[in-house]
Structure 1
Amino acid sequence: MHIKRIKVRPKKNVTVAPCGPELASMLGCWAANGDLHSINACSQASQALFECMRTAPMKMAARRPTINYHLARLGKNLK
């Protein structure tokens, strides 16, 4: 099957999660201690994540078209 009029847009730059390192640090601490309820062992990592989440700017993600939208759009070209 060959579709003549399909264009592929280049991928946009991937944004990095603003609190990714802090989350990785806390999950690493939990994995190292083996207990998710260990308050004292991971308090510094959890406090850093809390502060990052509190101060990180919140932006609304743009809605991406669903698969049904794309199927309907491509269906016009397949007939």
Structure 2
Amino acid sequence: MTRIEKLKVKPRKMKRPGPCNQQLTEMLSCWASTGDTQSTKECAEAAKSLHNCMRTMPPAQKPLKPTINYHLARLSKYLIK
């Protein structure tokens, strides 16, 4: 029988784009093109669209945790003898 000590599986981290990524990108590119982060006239439309997106965004949900580490810890007493 093989001994498995402290076996733990790390879940893959999947990158998901944020819900307002496009609007944030527009805002940052506007700031980069004008060269001033305080300019409100040139970037007003981008700021307004970002504000509307963030205001109407649904609340963030907690990601589901995989249970494989729980089951490995629970079954480890049967594997290590």
TM-score in terms of structure 2 length: 0.62
Which one has a bigger Cα radius of gyration?
A: 2
Distance 1:53 1:29, change over 3 A: same
Deviation, 1:31, is 0.5
Q: How many residues align?
A: 61
Q: Which runs of 4+ in 1 moved over 6 A?
A: none
Matched residue, 1:68: none
Matched residue, 2:39: 38
Percent identical: 39
1:27 match: secondary structure: helix
Name which structure has the greater RCO, CA cutoff 8 Å, separation 6+: 2
1:31 match: secondary structure: helix
Matched residue, 1:51: 52
In the alignment, structure 2 segments of 5+ residues that lack a partner are 66-81
